[in-house]
Structure 1
Amino acid sequence: MNSGTTVKTDEPSKADLATANAIGQSMVRLKRQMACAAAQLSKQGFEQASFGLLATLVNGGPQRSSSLAEALFTDPSTISRQVAHLVKEGLVERQADPADGRASVLAATQQGLAFFERHRRQRDVAIAQIVASWPAEDRTRFAELFERFADDYERMLPDILAERVAQARSEGEN
């Protein structure tokens, strides 16, 4: 999944590091709040990770388990457990792979599509309420910048992780 993008190795300036720290702290706060929300939803039998898998199938179409694991940066055994849950709930089904009838692909069912749309709408309403007091230009600009950040993060993450693993190995050898 290496994108060929190289991670910039120049030492960032103090100002860049201060900005990165502010972003990082905000990400930690957001992740903590999202984890609390996910915990509340899991008490109702709804797994946030399974929703991510369902969203990938809804947005990307039928896929093999291995493609889902790669797309979600997770282990195939984790995908297998989540798929089993989604199949049991009737949200995902196995279909013959059109490219290879011996294999199967996973696809969202009509019930899964309806479930996804209902929960996406609830999420969208909540976010709209959070930013309702912002000027329209701020909301639009935030959406643009946040998408850009997420795209860059997703694109660079494999390289960043590979660099960290290599660095940890070299430090372990010393």
Structure 2
Amino acid sequence: MSEQDHDRVERELSLLIRQYRTLMVTSASTVHTGLELSAYATLRLLDTDGPLRASTIGERFALDKSTVSRQLSRLIDWGLVERTPDPSDGRAHLVAITPTGHDRLTGVSNDRKQEIRRLLELWDEKDVAEFGRLLELFNRTNAG
């Protein structure tokens, strides 16, 4: 691959990330006004992998304990997550998404998917399939 090709990939990947980050910030604020992007990521994690201990959330996102605690406090205050005792360790707690949190997350996820479909509606079906395949290949190759 040429230097020019590498530069193009880096430039276009940077643009894609910026655009997707903007979409994610909009999604977060739709779930709840003032919801930070990292707290939105926490909410998504709890929806797919929860309930989890706060320490596990910190490890997954490389966040310190105080940051996770602050995020969880806000999410709890807003009724998006709840704490329950950990049945395997009475001294610890698990954090789980609430039905309200799940419903709001599902709504913005559906909106985001619709926006992606809108952005690709003029593309040929084969190009969309190839784009998805190449993104998947890139992500699998570079998953840490």
Asked if TM exceeds 0.5, the reply is yes
- Tell me the SS of whatever aligns to 2:63: coil
Question: Which residue in the other structure is 2:108 paired with?
Answer: 119
Asked whether 1:22 is paired with 2:8, we answer yes
Distance 1:23 1:133 in 2: 22
Asked whether 1:80 is paired with 2:69, we answer yes
5+ residue gaps, structure 2: none
Alignment of 1:51-62 (within 5 A): 51-62=40-51
Inter-CA distance 152–99: structure 2 relative to 1 (3 Å threshold): farther
RMSD between aligned residues: 2.4
TM-score normalised to the size of structure 2? 0.82
Distance 2:125 2:5 in 1: 24
5+ residue gaps, structure 1: 1-14, 156-174
User: Between the two proteins, what is the percent identity of the paired residues?
Assistant: 30
Distance 2:26 2:75 in 1: 18
Higher relative contact order (CA 8 A, sep 6+): 1
Distance 1:127 1:57 in 2: 23
Question: Which residue in the other structure is 1:132 paired with?
Answer: 121
Aligned length: 141
Q: Which amino acid aligns with 1:121?
A: N
Q: Which amino acid aligns with 1:77?
A: S
Distance 1:150 1:80 in 2: 30
Asked whether 1:65 is paired with 2:54, we answer yes
Q: Which amino acid aligns with 1:139?
A: V
Inter-CA distance 84–17: structure 2 relative to 1 (3 Å threshold): farther
TM-score normalised to the size of structure 1? 0.70
Distance 2:133 2:56 in 1: 28
